A and B are shown apart, each in its own frame.
Chain A
Amino acid sequence: MRSIALSSWCYGVLFSGLAAAQAPAPSAPADYSPPRLASGKPDLQGLWSNALLTPLERPADLADKPFLTEEEAREYARKRVETTNRDNRQGDPGADVLLAYNDFWWDSGNSVVKTLRTSLIVDPPNGRVPELTEAAKQRLAAQPPFSADGPERQPLNARCIYYATAGPPMTPGAYNNNYQLVQTDDHVLIVNEMVHETRIIPLDGRPFPPEEIRQWRGSSRGHWEGDTLVVETRNRRADTPFRGSSENMRLTERFTRVADDVLLYEFTVDDPDTFTQPWTVQITSSRVQDELMYEYACHEGNKAMYGILGGARLEERRAADAAK
């Protein structure tokens, strides 16, 4: 399945407000109506994948080109797959366990976002994360660097506590891009493949927990706006930043089923303590057919932490011995 999948139908109507005349688009059924639950709400359930080659930020060499044509997109995807193929690595075999992490372990997909944009960020229009505020620059510069002194000095993903790609917000990563959505009348459950994260989103209009209840992934509340599921998240801990965000980040996600096999996933990051303006991302999640998502027991299998810490202690002992 190394074929390069591109949208065969149109997002012209859907994206017209955002993409203006530049959207490359044949024609979508403007009257697409998603399958519905007994409640009448769109059925968003199933397994979806965010494996996309499109970068979050527009690359410098495409600064003046917000969209690719279908042909350009095919070529872009082909090159990205080729250059990121881990089996093509040259270099020091000692750098990663005798090149054991071959391409089998990676899954960035083989296609670009179906909007054919050159970045997942759609606003600001330059496709880049907005500039940080002065306060945020100082805050981030003051953070202590990671070290192997102890487990708590390691990054959250090395500790299997939190992966930015599972979010919220969810963004494409190098592997484990699937998520399963279960939807009842008053709740939505999103299970991310990455670190078996689960997010339970009440739809019953209940208030957020009190401000002092801080969670690694915040607290989420959802509601329907027409056929779009809107999810707001706040109350995050200060130590789970997304692209440098603060604990005051307010995140708004929007899920819209725009085709049987496409879930349009958009989010806006609003964090005046960190970014000089809000910014918005647009991702097309693809339906995963005839496959299952398996448990990713990151912490239970975290032998790497023993290696990282034990290796550092060994180096210290060797250095001490050499100094004698």
Chain B
Amino acid sequence: MKRIGLALAGLLSLAACGPAAPPAAQSDSASGIERTADGKPDLNGIWQALVPANWDIRPHEARPAPLAMLGASGAEPPSLGIVDGGEIPYLPAALEQQRQNYANRFELDPERKCFMPGIPRATYMPQPFQLFQSGDNISIVYQFANAVRPIYMKDPGPAPTSFWMGWSVGRWEGDTLVVEVTNQKPETWLDRAGNFHSGELRVEERYTLMGPNHLLYEATLEDPKVFSRPWKISLPLYRRLEANAELLEFKCVPFAEEVLYGPLRKGYAGEKP
């Protein structure tokens, strides 16, 4: 009955208002940002980070490739990092864990296995993502591993389990989209350098348009099992302006199968798994 009532209400409102006029995309001349029909900042588009934070979110020098045969093309680009203050406040045991992760990073990094990267790492991988915003329907699709997450703008209640891309609940604070991300898998990392978190990680993301083609991304990370206090990252995201820009498939499972299953291949002659 509820459904019928709603449907009737819909019909009545249509009858009363007539067909809606096509919306003019609104432009805010003061700030230079576009707005959607509901007056919110228009975050739609394909975005990408330029800072090479995926190699290491902390300040780091250039480093050689993990395999000598890759030469300079596989070397790691340097960066001043995206961590406010430069330092991640690890608890002592977690710091030791991070060092071990770093020492074994080429084997352990979940990116190598084509696992969905989690938040915030998905934001600054060296591949674009696309944000879809239509009123309260907001979703983000990441080119890497075809990862995707809905942003729930109405409280969906507690998460029933944990997810590789987390449980994202959003709200607007003025012109900033704020997203609380919880219930992530402890298996994801923050970068290729072994910076990590536990399943208790809470991320507060803030998306703020800086202009028509720049989006400020800020995230506060809180995880009492791993960090001694909340800490923050921030980086600008850049709109992909190519006229033909679109996300393409990066279905990376076939690229990871040798790493994951190679030792189980028929006739495998290497070390026993």
Q: Is there an interface contact between B163 and A295, defined as CB atoms closer than 8 Å?
A: yes
Q: Is there an interface contact between A299 and B11, defined as CB atoms closer than 8 Å?
A: no
Q: Is there an interface contact between B148 and A198, defined as CB atoms closer than 8 Å?
A: yes
Q: Is there an interface contact between B44 and A260, defined as CB atoms closer than 8 Å?
A: no
Q: Is there an interface contact between B14 and A33, defined as CB atoms closer than 8 Å?
A: yes
Q: Is there an interface contact between A300 and B164, defined as CB atoms closer than 8 Å?
A: yes
Q: Is there an interface contact between B20 and A40, defined as CB atoms closer than 8 Å?
A: yes
Q: How far is the CA of A215 from the CA of B253 in the complex (A)?
A: 14
- Chain A residues with Cβ below 8 Å from B243 are 206
Q: Is there an interface contact between B164 and A295, defined as CB atoms closer than 8 Å?
A: yes
From B37, B133, B253, A161 is in contact (CB under 8 Å) with: B253
Closest 9 CB pairs of A and B: A38-B37, A309-B264, A149-B266, A151-B257, A38-B23, A150-B265, A215-B249, A295-B163, A151-B261
Q: How far is the CA of A294 from the CA of B156 in the complex (A)?
A: 12
Query: Can you list 7 pairs linking A and B with CB atoms under 8 Å apart?
Result: A39-B20, A39-B22, A150-B265, A151-B261, A260-B6, A294-B163, A300-B115
- Chain B residues with Cβ below 8 Å from A38 are 20, 22-23, 37-38
Q: Is there an interface contact between B116 and A182, defined as CB atoms closer than 8 Å?
A: no
Q: Is there an interface contact between B132 and A292, defined as CB atoms closer than 8 Å?
A: no
What 0/1 pattern do residues 240 to 273 of B give for CB contact below 8 A with A? 0001101111010110010011001110000000
Q: How large is the interface on A (under 10, 10 to 19, 20 to 34, 35 or more residues)?
A: 35 or more
Looking at B141, B147, B247, B253, the one whose CB has the most chain A CB atoms below 10 A away is: B253
The verdict on A37 contacting B134 (CB below 8 Å), with A200-B247, A297-B163, A300-B115 known, is yes
Q: Is there an interface contact between A260 and B10, defined as CB atoms closer than 8 Å?
A: yes
What 0/1 pattern do residues 204 to 223 of A give for CB contact below 8 A with B? 00100100010111000000
The verdict on A184 contacting B132 (CB below 8 Å), with A36-B19, A150-B261, A161-B254 known, is yes
- Chain B residues with Cβ below 8 Å from A299 are 114-115, 145, 253
- Chain A residues with Cβ below 8 Å from B147 are 196
What 0/1 pattern do residues 132 to 155 of B give for CB contact below 8 A with A? 111001110100011111101000
In the assembled complex, A160 has its CB within 8 A of some CB on chain B: yes
From A45, A159, A300, B257 is in contact (CB under 8 Å) with: A159
Q: Is there an interface contact between B139 and A309, defined as CB atoms closer than 8 Å?
A: no
In the assembled complex, A104 has its CB within 8 A of some CB on chain B: no
In the assembled complex, A59 has its CB within 8 A of some CB on chain B: no
- Which residues of A27-66 are within 8 A (CB) of B? 33, 35-40, 45
Closest B residue to A214 by CB, please name it.
B249
- Chain B residues with Cβ below 8 Å from A310 are 264
Q: Is there an interface contact between A161 and B248, defined as CB atoms closer than 8 Å?
A: no
| A to B contact number (C-beta, < 8 Å) | 134
Looking at A36, A184, A191, A200, the one whose CB has the most chain B CB atoms below 10 A away is: A184
Q: How far is the CA of A184 from the CA of B42 in the complex (A)?
A: 11
With both chains docked as a complex, state the minimum distance between the C-beta of A188 and any C-beta of chain B, in angstroms.
9
With both chains docked as a complex, state the minimum distance between the C-beta of A73 and any C-beta of chain B, in angstroms.
21
With both chains docked as a complex, state the minimum distance between the C-beta of A82 and any C-beta of chain B, in angstroms.
29
- Chain B residues with Cβ below 8 Å from A45 are 134, 137
With both chains docked as a complex, state the minimum distance between the C-beta of A214 and any C-beta of chain B, in angstroms.
9
Interface size on B, residues (CB 8 A): 56
In the assembled complex, B49 has its CB within 8 A of some CB on chain A: no
Q: How far is the CA of A138 from the CA of B67 in the complex (A)?
A: 44
Q: How far is the CA of A148 from the CA of B261 in the complex (A)?
A: 11
In the assembled complex, A305 has its CB within 8 A of some CB on chain B: yes
Closest B residue to A237 by CB, please name it.
B249
In the assembled complex, B174 has its CB within 8 A of some CB on chain A: no
Q: Is there an interface contact between B164 and A150, defined as CB atoms closer than 8 Å?
A: no
Q: How far is the CA of A39 from the CA of B20 in the complex (A)?
A: 7
Closest B residue to A312 by CB, please name it.
B266
Q: How far is the CA of A35 from the CA of B134 in the complex (A)?
A: 14
- Chain A residues with Cβ below 8 Å from B130 are 200
From B7, B156, B161, A260 is in contact (CB under 8 Å) with: B7
The verdict on A216 contacting B148 (CB below 8 Å), with A40-B19, A313-B266, A316-B266 known, is no
Q: How far is the CA of A233 from the CA of B18 in the complex (A)?
A: 34
What 0/1 pattern do residues 289 to 316 of A give for CB contact below 8 A with B? 1001111010110000110011011001
What 0/1 pattern do residues 142 to 161 of A give for CB contact below 8 A with B? 00000011111000000111
From B145, B148, B248, B266, A213 is in contact (CB under 8 Å) with: B248
Q: How far is the CA of A45 from the CA of B134 in the complex (A)?
A: 9
- Chain A residues with Cβ below 8 Å from B25 are 185
Closest B residue to A160 by CB, please name it.
B253
- Which residues of B194-228 are within 8 A (CB) of A? none
Q: How far is the CA of A49 from the CA of B22 in the complex (A)?
A: 30
In the assembled complex, A261 has its CB within 8 A of some CB on chain B: yes
- Chain B residues with Cβ below 8 Å from A273 are none
With both chains docked as a complex, state the minimum distance between the C-beta of A30 and any C-beta of chain B, in angstroms.
13
- Chain B residues with Cβ below 8 Å from A217 are 249
The verdict on A292 contacting B156 (CB below 8 Å), with A159-B253, A202-B246 known, is yes
Looking at B139, B248, B265, the one whose CB has the most chain A CB atoms below 10 A away is: B265
